[in-house]
Amino acid sequence: MNAIFERLRELFQLFFPETCEVCGNSLRYGEHILCTDCLLDVPKIHLHNLEHNPVENIFAGQVPFVRATSFFNYQKHTEYAHLVHKLKYRNRDDIGILLGELFGVELQKSGFLSDIDAIVPIPLHRKRERKRGYNQSRILAEGISNVTNIAILDNAVIRAVHTQTQTRKSKEERAKNVEGIFEIRDASLLEGKHILILDDVITTGATCISCAETILRQSNVKAVSFASIALAQR
């Protein structure tokens, strides 16, 4: 039965081939979402073991943290930026799982996750999550967890205030927009843990900083670090 199913799948792909989400070429057997060439061309920035890297510099002096990193460089209007857009706005949670898994492999190899106890994906407000159908940061965390087995704490912190999108806001406006918007739902889940706060895109870091401030103020957490799939440098 399995052999028959596999043959039917091969025939289906022959007549209705999947295409790469970056270059648009037909995917070969065994490829999924991205072709091998585009997987190799992801604009990774390899910051995981670099002290005072551009991501760490965003948070330096803003909030106490251990380390920070991102997976790839986010440049508007590129096909890799469109991957993030599809994840957030086109119901492509499968893209988020793949990106999270790729990121998780890199983080694990680098030792970045060696003392991380749990991942806290940046929460969405319930209204926005209901409209979107899922939290994209939670999907990315699932991908990382798939390859690292690190627990995801998506019920410890909530986004209590519904805010406007951060897009097109200045650095100062972004910080004001997310000030005091998070609340701790269950501090016991965070107690004594080194938490990795995970966002999809870090630009000014305002959302991550606000989340970290709430965690540090309202729980007995051991430490926080930051990560994102993409870094949008201004």
Domain ranges within the chain, ordered by starting residue: 1-41, 43-231
Measured between alpha carbons, how far is 222 from 127 in angstroms, rounded to an integer? Answer: 31
Query: Quick one: pLDDT at residue 54?
Result: 96
Our CA dihedral for 226, 37, 33, 122, rounded to 10 degrees, sits at 10
Q: Write down the pTM of the prediction.
A: 0.89
Is CATH 3.40.50.2020 what the domain over 43-231 is classified as, yes or no?
yes
Q: Which residue has the tokens 């016991």?
A: 188
Report helix, strand or coil for 197.
strand
Tens-binned pLDDT, residue by residue, of the chain (234 aa)? 556 655 655 555 555 578 999 999 999 888 999 999 999 999 999 999 999 999 999 999 999 999 999 999 999 999 999 999 999 999 999 999 999 999 999 999 999 999 999 999 999 989 888 988 999 999 999 999 999 999 999 999 999 887 766 566 666 766 777 777 899 999 999 999 999 999 999 999 999 999 999 999 999 999 999 999 999 976
Q: What distance in Å separates the CA atoms of residue 103 and residue 121, rounded to the nearest whole number? A: 14
3-class DSSP assignment, residue 95: helix
Please answer whether residues 226 and 59 qualify as being in contact, where contact means their C-beta atoms are separated by less than 8 angstroms.
yes
Amino acid at 112: F
